[in-house]
Amino acid sequence: MHFDFDRDAPKIYATNALFARSAWEDISARSTDLSGFRQRHGKMIVVQGASDPVFSINDTLAWWREVDQKTHAGASQFVRVFPVPGMTHCGGGDATDQFDALRPLMQWVEEGHAPGTIPATTTPGVPGLQRSRPLCPYPAFARYKGTGDPLSAGSFSCQRPSKGPA
């Protein structure tokens, strides 16, 4: 109740002898120069809640687009962002927030199979509709096929947005 935006907000930039880097320096790290990572054949999966109240999915997607531009449309060869509709910060929300992102990453690194989807379900026992969905690598999104159970991932496919009129 006593927060003063003009006085208190700049404290996020504060440093001292014990903390040489500010909190803002750490949470705003967003380098798009991943050339060294890519040269060492690194692979990265970023999963983020589209309803995250802490970090905006729009910032993450803008970062990915910058990486893609810097790599001449090659970002998806080594880094993929999987937005989770409805998920808040690290889980929760009205979302299919139960998934294993490690297995697809391991398959990508060890077998060369880039993930086209990550299967996801809602948390068992949480009130609301129990459902499953494919998580899709940006810019693709899960779209209902028009037939089948709308609560089942099998009734959805990952589709890229269509280009609008020229």
User: Which pLDDT does position 129 carry in this prediction?
Assistant: 83
Mean pLDDT value of segment 100-125: 96
In a domain, 148, yes or no: yes
Assess if residue 78 is contained within a domain: yes
138 lies in some domain: yes
CA pair distance 162, 151, nearest whole angstrom: 25
CA 153, CA 120: separation in Å to the nearest integer? 8
- Residues with Cβ < 8 Å from 87, sequence gap 6 or more? 48, 49, 50, 51, 52, 93, 95, 96, 97
Q: Does the residue 109 lie in any domain?
A: yes
69 versus 20: which is more confidently predicted?
69
Query: How confident is residue 52, by pLDDT bands cut at 50, 70 and 90?
Result: very high
For position 45, what pLDDT does the model report?
98
Structure letter (DSSP) for residue 21? S
Cα distance between residue 73 and residue 16, in whole Å: 41
What is the reported pLDDT for 107?
98
Cis peptide before 53 (omega within 30 of 0): no
What H or E segment, with its residue span, contains residue 69? helix 57-70
Residue 5 lies in a domain: no
pLDDT digits (tens, 9 = 90+) for 70-102: 999 999 999 999 999 999 998 888 899 999 999
Q: What is the pLDDT of residue 59?
A: 92
Domain count across the chain:
1
> In the 8-state DSSP scheme, what is residue 108?
H
